[in-house]
Amino acid sequence: MIATEWPQFKELDLAKSKKVMTAPIMFDGRNLFDPVLVKKIGFTYKSIGR
């Protein structure tokens, strides 16, 4: 779950993060990430208002 717009989250290596997750699911409460890119990496992606 992403609930902040802090730069540390924006710079997150999504491919590396996915490798350590059992179920790569992201809920982006701040619309911080590009949904097409996140889904292309292999996440199930949900956001607010898109």
pTM across the whole model:
0.82
pLDDT at res. 45: 98
The b-or-e profile of 6-25 (16+ CB within 10 A means b, else e) is eeeeeeeebeeeeeeeeebe
In a domain, 17, yes or no: yes
CA distance 22 to 31: 23
In a domain, 24, yes or no: yes
Q: What is the number of structural domains in the chain?
A: 1
User: Which structural domain range is residue 31 located in?
Assistant: 7-47
pLDDT tens, residue by residue, 5-46: 999 999 999 999 999 999 999 999 999 999 999 999 999 999
CA distance 10 to 32: 7
In a domain, 2, yes or no: no
CA distance 5 to 42: 22
